[in-house]
Structure 1
Amino acid sequence: MGNDSKRDLCSEFARILDGDASFMNGVCLVQRFRDIPFKILGRRTNSPLVNPQFFTFENLDSKGNALNLGETVLLQVEVNPLLTELRKRDLIVTAVHNHWLFENPRAMYMHFESIEPPLEFARKVREAFKVLKG
Protein backbone atom coordinates (compact mmCIF):
# COMPACT_ATOMS: atom_id res chain seq x y z
CA MET A 1 0.00 0.00 0.00
CA GLY A 2 1.43 3.38 -1.01
CA ASN A 3 1.65 6.44 1.19
CA ASP A 4 -1.34 8.11 -0.51
CA SER A 5 -3.51 5.06 0.24
CA LYS A 6 -2.23 5.01 3.83
CA ARG A 7 -3.01 8.72 4.18
CA ASP A 8 -6.56 8.07 2.92
CA LEU A 9 -6.88 5.21 5.41
CA CYS A 10 -5.58 7.54 8.13
CA SER A 11 -8.20 10.15 7.21
CA GLU A 12 -10.99 7.57 7.50
CA PHE A 13 -9.53 6.30 10.80
CA ALA A 14 -9.67 9.91 12.08
CA ARG A 15 -13.22 10.42 10.81
CA ILE A 16 -14.47 7.34 12.67
CA LEU A 17 -12.70 8.46 15.85
CA ASP A 18 -13.78 12.11 15.38
CA GLY A 19 -10.23 13.41 15.71
CA ASP A 20 -7.46 15.19 13.87
CA ALA A 21 -5.08 13.06 11.81
CA SER A 22 -1.44 13.34 10.96
CA PHE A 23 0.71 10.86 9.06
CA MET A 24 4.45 10.74 9.63
CA ASN A 25 7.14 8.07 9.26
CA GLY A 26 4.50 5.48 8.36
CA VAL A 27 2.45 6.12 11.51
CA CYS A 28 -1.09 7.46 11.47
CA LEU A 29 -1.79 9.51 14.61
CA VAL A 30 -5.25 10.69 15.55
CA GLN A 31 -5.68 13.00 18.47
CA ARG A 32 -8.58 14.55 20.24
CA PHE A 33 -8.99 16.02 23.68
CA ARG A 34 -11.65 15.59 26.32
CA ASP A 35 -13.18 18.64 27.96
CA ILE A 36 -12.93 17.66 31.61
CA PRO A 37 -12.43 20.54 34.06
CA PHE A 38 -9.32 19.20 35.78
CA LYS A 39 -7.36 21.22 38.30
CA ILE A 40 -3.75 20.44 39.16
CA LEU A 41 -2.36 22.03 42.31
CA GLY A 42 -5.62 23.98 42.50
CA ARG A 43 -5.22 25.52 39.02
CA ARG A 44 -7.56 24.82 36.08
CA THR A 45 -5.77 23.14 33.19
CA ASN A 46 -6.62 22.69 29.52
CA SER A 47 -3.23 21.16 28.77
CA PRO A 48 -3.16 18.55 26.02
CA LEU A 49 -0.96 16.56 28.42
CA VAL A 50 -3.92 16.22 30.79
CA ASN A 51 -6.94 15.69 28.48
CA PRO A 52 -5.63 13.54 25.59
CA GLN A 53 -7.08 10.78 23.51
CA PHE A 54 -4.46 9.41 21.11
CA PHE A 55 -4.83 6.60 18.58
CA THR A 56 -2.27 5.24 16.12
CA PHE A 57 -1.84 2.53 13.56
CA GLU A 58 1.27 1.39 11.73
CA ASN A 59 2.95 -1.59 10.09
CA LEU A 60 0.10 -2.66 7.82
CA ASP A 61 0.61 -6.19 6.54
CA SER A 62 -0.57 -7.74 3.28
CA LYS A 63 -3.85 -8.82 4.96
CA GLY A 64 -4.64 -5.25 6.05
CA ASN A 65 -3.82 -5.81 9.72
CA ALA A 66 -1.88 -3.18 11.63
CA LEU A 67 -0.52 -2.49 15.07
CA ASN A 68 -3.21 -0.28 16.65
CA LEU A 69 -2.56 1.63 19.87
CA GLY A 70 -4.77 3.89 21.97
CA GLU A 71 -4.64 6.02 25.09
CA THR A 72 -7.33 8.06 26.81
CA VAL A 73 -7.75 10.13 29.92
CA LEU A 74 -10.60 8.98 32.16
CA LEU A 75 -12.46 9.98 35.24
CA GLN A 76 -11.93 7.40 37.95
CA VAL A 77 -15.58 6.25 37.70
CA GLU A 78 -15.10 5.55 33.96
CA VAL A 79 -12.21 3.09 34.38
CA ASN A 80 -14.16 -0.12 34.97
CA PRO A 81 -16.94 0.57 32.43
CA LEU A 82 -14.42 1.35 29.67
CA LEU A 83 -12.20 -1.58 30.61
CA THR A 84 -15.22 -3.87 30.30
CA GLU A 85 -16.24 -2.44 26.92
CA LEU A 86 -12.74 -2.65 25.43
CA ARG A 87 -12.27 -6.24 26.62
CA LYS A 88 -15.69 -7.23 25.20
CA ARG A 89 -14.33 -6.13 21.83
CA ASP A 90 -11.10 -8.13 22.20
CA LEU A 91 -8.92 -5.06 22.65
CA ILE A 92 -6.01 -5.63 25.01
CA VAL A 93 -5.87 -3.18 27.90
CA THR A 94 -2.19 -2.77 28.76
CA ALA A 95 -2.17 -0.10 31.47
CA VAL A 96 -4.36 1.91 33.81
CA HIS A 97 -2.47 4.52 35.78
CA ASN A 98 -2.22 8.14 36.80
CA HIS A 99 0.09 10.83 35.39
CA TRP A 100 -0.40 13.65 37.89
CA LEU A 101 -0.44 14.31 41.60
CA PHE A 102 -2.76 16.72 43.40
CA GLU A 103 -5.32 16.81 40.57
CA ASN A 104 -9.07 17.11 41.00
CA PRO A 105 -11.03 15.22 39.89
CA ARG A 106 -8.75 12.18 39.77
CA ALA A 107 -7.36 11.74 36.22
CA MET A 108 -6.65 8.17 35.13
CA TYR A 109 -5.14 7.02 31.84
CA MET A 110 -5.84 3.80 29.98
CA HIS A 111 -3.74 2.28 27.19
CA PHE A 112 -4.97 -0.42 24.81
CA GLU A 113 -3.85 -2.24 21.68
CA SER A 114 -4.66 -4.74 18.95
CA ILE A 115 -3.50 -6.27 15.70
CA GLU A 116 -6.37 -5.96 13.20
CA PRO A 117 -7.52 -3.70 10.37
CA PRO A 118 -7.29 -0.10 11.60
CA LEU A 119 -10.88 0.77 10.71
CA GLU A 120 -12.16 -2.19 12.75
CA PHE A 121 -10.10 -0.97 15.71
CA ALA A 122 -11.47 2.56 15.25
CA ARG A 123 -15.08 1.33 15.16
CA LYS A 124 -14.56 -0.80 18.28
CA VAL A 125 -13.04 2.13 20.15
CA ARG A 126 -15.84 4.46 19.06
CA GLU A 127 -18.45 1.99 20.38
CA ALA A 128 -16.58 1.32 23.63
CA PHE A 129 -16.17 5.06 24.29
CA LYS A 130 -19.96 5.47 24.46
CA VAL A 131 -19.64 4.66 28.19
CA LEU A 132 -17.58 7.83 28.75
CA LYS A 133 -19.30 10.82 30.29
CA GLY A 134 -18.58 13.13 27.39
Structure 2
Amino acid sequence: MIALSTLKKILERNEERLPLLTLDDFFNGNTAEDSIAPNQWGFGRPTLSEIWNMLQKIELLPNIAWVRVALHDDTEIVENDGTEELVLAGDTIVICTTISPAELEKIVNCKWLYSDGVIKTKLNAYSCVPSIPKNFDCLEIVWD
Protein backbone atom coordinates (compact mmCIF):
# COMPACT_ATOMS: atom_id res chain seq x y z
CA MET A 1 0.00 0.00 0.00
CA ILE A 2 1.25 3.47 -0.77
CA ALA A 3 3.13 5.04 2.10
CA LEU A 4 1.49 7.97 3.84
CA SER A 5 4.57 10.15 3.25
CA THR A 6 4.50 9.33 -0.47
CA LEU A 7 0.82 10.21 -0.78
CA LYS A 8 1.38 13.48 1.09
CA LYS A 9 4.15 14.45 -1.37
CA ILE A 10 1.95 13.59 -4.36
CA LEU A 11 -0.91 15.68 -2.99
CA GLU A 12 1.40 18.60 -2.25
CA ARG A 13 2.90 18.55 -5.76
CA ASN A 14 -0.49 18.20 -7.46
CA GLU A 15 -2.65 20.82 -5.74
CA GLU A 16 -4.32 18.17 -3.55
CA ARG A 17 -5.63 16.22 -6.58
CA LEU A 18 -5.86 12.54 -5.73
CA PRO A 19 -3.57 10.25 -7.72
CA LEU A 20 -4.40 7.18 -9.73
CA LEU A 21 -2.62 4.42 -7.83
CA THR A 22 -0.90 1.38 -9.27
CA LEU A 23 -2.37 -1.96 -8.28
CA ASP A 24 0.53 -2.53 -5.87
CA ASP A 25 0.13 0.92 -4.32
CA PHE A 26 -3.51 0.20 -3.55
CA PHE A 27 -3.68 -3.54 -2.87
CA ASN A 28 -0.28 -4.64 -1.53
CA GLY A 29 -0.65 -4.84 2.25
CA ASN A 30 -4.17 -3.39 2.19
CA THR A 31 -6.36 -5.48 4.51
CA ALA A 32 -9.31 -3.06 4.73
CA GLU A 33 -11.87 -5.04 2.74
CA ASP A 34 -14.21 -2.06 2.65
CA SER A 35 -11.59 0.17 1.02
CA ILE A 36 -13.22 -0.40 -2.39
CA ALA A 37 -16.88 -1.10 -3.20
CA PRO A 38 -17.76 -1.04 0.52
CA ASN A 39 -21.49 -1.38 -0.16
CA GLN A 40 -20.87 -4.72 -1.89
CA TRP A 41 -18.39 -6.11 0.68
CA GLY A 42 -20.15 -8.72 2.78
CA PHE A 43 -22.84 -9.10 0.15
CA GLY A 44 -20.90 -11.21 -2.35
CA ARG A 45 -18.11 -8.97 -3.62
CA PRO A 46 -14.82 -10.89 -3.90
CA THR A 47 -12.00 -10.21 -1.45
CA LEU A 48 -9.35 -7.58 -2.13
CA SER A 49 -6.81 -10.32 -2.84
CA GLU A 50 -9.12 -11.93 -5.41
CA ILE A 51 -9.76 -8.58 -7.11
CA TRP A 52 -6.02 -7.79 -7.10
CA ASN A 53 -5.18 -11.18 -8.59
CA MET A 54 -7.74 -10.74 -11.39
CA LEU A 55 -6.58 -7.19 -12.18
CA GLN A 56 -2.93 -8.28 -12.34
CA LYS A 57 -3.92 -10.81 -15.02
CA ILE A 58 -5.92 -8.17 -16.90
CA GLU A 59 -2.93 -5.80 -16.83
CA LEU A 60 -0.87 -8.41 -18.73
CA LEU A 61 -3.25 -8.59 -21.70
CA PRO A 62 -1.75 -7.21 -24.92
CA ASN A 63 -4.55 -4.68 -25.50
CA ILE A 64 -4.20 -3.16 -22.01
CA ALA A 65 -1.74 -0.29 -21.52
CA TRP A 66 -2.22 0.02 -17.76
CA VAL A 67 -4.59 -0.51 -14.83
CA ARG A 68 -4.97 1.92 -11.91
CA VAL A 69 -7.19 2.50 -8.89
CA ALA A 70 -8.93 5.88 -8.73
CA LEU A 71 -9.28 7.11 -5.18
CA HIS A 72 -12.51 8.40 -3.69
CA ASP A 73 -12.70 11.74 -1.89
CA ASP A 74 -13.21 9.76 1.32
CA THR A 75 -9.50 8.89 1.29
CA GLU A 76 -8.15 10.55 4.41
CA ILE A 77 -5.34 10.86 6.87
CA VAL A 78 -6.55 10.19 10.41
CA GLU A 79 -4.84 10.40 13.77
CA ASN A 80 -4.77 7.26 15.88
CA ASP A 81 -3.10 7.51 19.32
CA GLY A 82 -0.98 10.42 18.13
CA THR A 83 0.09 8.69 14.91
CA GLU A 84 -1.13 9.63 11.44
CA GLU A 85 -2.63 6.79 9.42
CA LEU A 86 -3.77 6.63 5.83
CA VAL A 87 -7.29 5.39 5.18
CA LEU A 88 -7.56 4.54 1.48
CA ALA A 89 -10.93 4.67 -0.23
CA GLY A 90 -10.91 3.30 -3.75
CA ASP A 91 -13.57 4.63 -6.07
CA THR A 92 -13.16 2.88 -9.42
CA ILE A 93 -10.70 0.75 -11.37
CA VAL A 94 -9.38 2.56 -14.45
CA ILE A 95 -8.20 0.47 -17.40
CA CYS A 96 -6.45 2.00 -20.40
CA THR A 97 -7.33 -0.24 -23.33
CA THR A 98 -8.53 -0.71 -26.89
CA ILE A 99 -11.25 -3.10 -25.68
CA SER A 100 -14.87 -1.88 -25.81
CA PRO A 101 -16.72 -1.29 -22.55
CA ALA A 102 -19.09 -4.20 -23.25
CA GLU A 103 -16.24 -6.60 -23.91
CA LEU A 104 -14.30 -5.45 -20.85
CA GLU A 105 -17.40 -6.06 -18.70
CA LYS A 106 -17.24 -9.71 -19.79
CA ILE A 107 -13.47 -10.03 -19.37
CA VAL A 108 -13.42 -8.63 -15.82
CA ASN A 109 -16.71 -10.38 -14.97
CA CYS A 110 -18.62 -7.42 -13.57
CA LYS A 111 -21.26 -9.77 -12.17
CA TRP A 112 -18.58 -11.52 -10.06
CA LEU A 113 -17.25 -8.12 -8.93
CA TYR A 114 -20.77 -6.96 -8.01
CA SER A 115 -19.97 -3.99 -10.23
CA ASP A 116 -22.47 -1.77 -11.98
CA GLY A 117 -20.47 -2.05 -15.19
CA VAL A 118 -17.82 -0.35 -17.29
CA ILE A 119 -17.96 3.20 -18.63
CA LYS A 120 -15.68 5.47 -20.65
CA THR A 121 -14.06 8.16 -18.56
CA LYS A 122 -12.02 11.34 -18.59
CA LEU A 123 -9.21 11.58 -16.06
CA ASN A 124 -8.90 15.35 -15.67
CA ALA A 125 -9.58 15.29 -11.92
CA TYR A 126 -6.66 12.98 -11.08
CA SER A 127 -2.91 13.29 -10.79
CA CYS A 128 -0.33 10.62 -11.66
CA VAL A 129 -2.14 9.62 -14.85
CA PRO A 130 0.12 7.50 -17.08
CA SER A 131 0.34 8.33 -20.76
CA ILE A 132 -2.52 7.11 -22.90
CA PRO A 133 -1.36 5.49 -26.15
CA LYS A 134 -2.94 6.49 -29.45
CA ASN A 135 -6.26 4.72 -30.11
CA PHE A 136 -6.65 3.72 -26.45
CA ASP A 137 -9.51 4.75 -24.17
CA CYS A 138 -9.75 4.90 -20.41
CA LEU A 139 -12.56 2.79 -19.03
CA GLU A 140 -13.74 2.57 -15.45
CA ILE A 141 -15.15 -0.37 -13.54
CA VAL A 142 -17.76 1.34 -11.38
CA TRP A 143 -19.77 0.51 -8.29
CA ASP A 144 -22.89 2.34 -7.12
Whether TM-score is above 0.5 comes out as no
TM-score range, shorter chain: 0.3 to 0.5
More strand by share: 1
Give the TM-score, by structure 2 length: 0.33
TM-score (norm 1): 0.35
